């Protein structure tokens, strides 16, 4: 019997997962010290519970993705509305430097995968799969390339790909915050140390009262967000008709930045930074909870697990080293770079949403970094995906 979890049901479950993660983090202090996102802490056990129910009963759970994608779009729209365009444009050279760093990382990530396969004595294709195909690429790339390689005769390619993508997703969430914490604590990043979030303090009763009491302004803000989200999706359809492939959230975020910047002082009539920050944070938390609880946990106990775990352990050691000594330095060795590094680890092992969750956890602890929130989706979705496709094909040419 198939149970479709959608609409109000999936929203209630995601909030329950979030609060379950919060409860666990409060009880298990080591999780908080490593800055692991609460949506991950609550979501992974939930996915395992769903898997156990499926194995012990006749029920099968299907999670609807509509609300999940809505909240992701909502998050990026509010991120764009909070961004400072002049400051972002001043970081043009930084973006180019980080793109080149990402390209180097993708190449080395595949070499590490091949090294792991060589040490295990398994087919080199397996090492390539537990490389940029599934780690930097995520589940979508894992399914695409796994199916392609299976058709070429590598029968385990899809299973190995999904195992690697699932474990990578979880690994990226578990270690990204810890890497950034060490960078912040060891280096003179004074901007963020012991600093409360400037835009919204969830413990402030005064802010909550101000948020609730200005209903007309709040509704104007919601309306503006929804209009930009609609315009972003429609604009992306136009881009697709021109054979320009992009996730919906990128044109939405860019339009949000453009509209708010061009609106200048007029936009202040319907935008309040505290309200916007609250909406921004809440939408990301709900999205992460929905994403993590819908993971297919069967790939956590697959027969090919040992092969993937060995190569993945090498990848984790490599990305920690690369993040601390290469990416962080390329990003400027400052607080924004440390926050972005936590996101890079999430993207490099899992997916852009995990990277965003890592950044959100770090910024909640140490202070805001809109630059990190803006740069990560550009690096993780546009440039990484484009470069990854070329790099994977080059590696396949030599080893297939």
The residues with which 4 forms a beta bridge, in sequence order, are 62
Task: State pTM to two decimals.
Answer: 0.80
Residue 155 has phi, psi (to 5 degrees) of -65, -30
Q: 25 and 17 in contact (C-beta within 8 Å)? A: no
Give the C-alpha separation, 192 to 184, whole Å. Answer: 8
Per-residue pLDDT of the chain (400 residues; tens, 9 = 90+): 888 998 899 999 999 999 999 999 888 877 777 788 888 889 889 999 999 999 899 889 999 989 988 998 998 888 888 776 666 666 668 888 999 999 999 999 999 999 999 999 988 999 999 999 999 888 878 888 888 888 888 878 888 988 898 899 889 988 999 999 999 987 665 444 444 444 334 444 444 444 445 677 778 888 889 999 999 999 988 988 888 767 787 788 888 888 887 766 666 666 766 777 788 888 888 988 898 898 888 877 777 778 899 999 999 999 999 999 999 999 989 999 999 999 999 999 988 888 988 998 898 888 888 788 888 887 876 678 778 888 998 998 888 6
Among 161, 113, 140, CA closest to 310:
113
pLDDT score recorded for residue 188: 67
H helix intervals, 83-137 = 85-90, 92-120, 124-128
Give the C-alpha separation, 66 to 69, whole Å. Answer: 5
Residue 2 has phi, psi (to 5 degrees) of -90, 130
pLDDT score recorded for residue 371: 83
Give the C-alpha separation, 49 to 59, whole Å. Answer: 12
Phi-psi region of 246 (alpha: psi -120 to 50; beta: other; left: phi over 0): beta
In this structure, what is the dihedral angle of CA atoms 161, 166, 171, 177, given to the nearest 10 degrees? Answer: 120
pLDDT score recorded for residue 197: 40
32 CB burial (10 A radius; 0-12, 13-18, 19+): middle
What kind and span of H or E run contains 288? helix 273-293
pLDDT score recorded for residue 89: 64
């Amino acid at each position: 019997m198939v149970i479709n979890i959608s609409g109000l049901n999936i929203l209630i479950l995601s909030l329950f997962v979030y609060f379950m993660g919060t409860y666990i983090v409060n009880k298990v202090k080591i999780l908080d010290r490593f800055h692991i996102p609460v949506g991950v802490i609550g979501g992974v056990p939930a996915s395992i519970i769903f898997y156990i129910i499926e194995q012990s009963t006749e029920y099968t759970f299907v999670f609807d993705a509509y609300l999940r994608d809505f909240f992701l779009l909502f998050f990026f729209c509010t991120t764009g509305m909070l961004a400072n365009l002049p400051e972002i444009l001043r970081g043009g050279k930084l973006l180019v430097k980080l793109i080149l760093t990402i390209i180097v990382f993708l190449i080395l990530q595949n070499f590490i995968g091949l090294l792991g396969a060589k040490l295990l004595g398994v087919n080199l294709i397996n090492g390539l799969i537990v490389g940029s195909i599934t780690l930097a690429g995520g589940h979508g790339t894992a399914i695409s390339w796994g199916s392609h390689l299976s058709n070429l005769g590598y029968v385990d390619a899809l299973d190995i790909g999904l195992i690697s993508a699932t474990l990578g997703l979880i690994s990226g969430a578990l270690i990204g915050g810890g890497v950034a914490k060490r960078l912040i604590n060891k280096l003179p990043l004074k901007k963020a140390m012991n600093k409360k979030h400037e835009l919204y303090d969830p413990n402030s009763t005064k802010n909550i009262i101000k948020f609730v009491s200005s209903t007309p302004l709040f509704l104007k803000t919601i309306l503006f967000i929804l209009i930009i989200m609609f315009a972003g999706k429609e604009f992306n359809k136009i881009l697709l008709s021109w054979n320009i492939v992009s996730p919906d959230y990128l044109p939405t975020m860019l339009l949000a930045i453009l509209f708010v910047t061009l609106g200048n002082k007029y936009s202040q009539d319907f935008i309040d930074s505290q309200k916007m920050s609250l909406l921004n944070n809440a939408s990301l938390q709900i999205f992460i909870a929905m994403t993590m609880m819908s993971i297919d946990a069967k790939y956590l106990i697959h027969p090919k697990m040992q092969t993937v775990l060995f190569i993945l352990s090498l990848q984790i050691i490599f990305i920690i080293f690369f993040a601390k000594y290469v990416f962080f330095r390329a990003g400027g060795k400052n607080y924004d770079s440390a926050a972005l590094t936590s996101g890079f680890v999430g993207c490099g092992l899992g997916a852009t949403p995990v990277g965003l969750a890592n950044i959100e956890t770090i910024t909640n602890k140490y202070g805001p970094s809109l630059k990190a929130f803006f740069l990560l989706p550009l690096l993780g979705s546009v440039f990484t995906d484009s470069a990854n496709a070329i790099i994977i094909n080059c590696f396949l040419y030599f080893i297939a």
